[in-house]
Amino acid sequence: MAAYLIADVDVTDAATFDEHKREVPATEAPWRAVSRARRHDPST
């Protein structure tokens, strides 16, 4: 079964967000999840 998560995240603390990003693969591993992320230019 496929599942999708779409989020629009405003990062206000880059250091904490970087720490979170490092933990994501271990969280997703039991479900063989694949993360894809895209950045956008907030000035557009």
| The pLDDT of residue 15 | 93
DSSP secondary structure of the chain: -----------S-HHHHHHHHHHHHHHHGGGT---------TT-
User: 28 CB contacts (<8 Å, ≥6 apart)?
Assistant: 34, 35
Distance (Å, rounded) from C-alpha 3 to C-alpha 1? 7
pTM of this prediction exceeds 0.85: no
State pLDDT tens for residues 1-44: 788 888 888 889 999 989 988 998 898 899 888 887 777 776 75
Distance (Å, rounded) from C-alpha 33 to C-alpha 10? 23
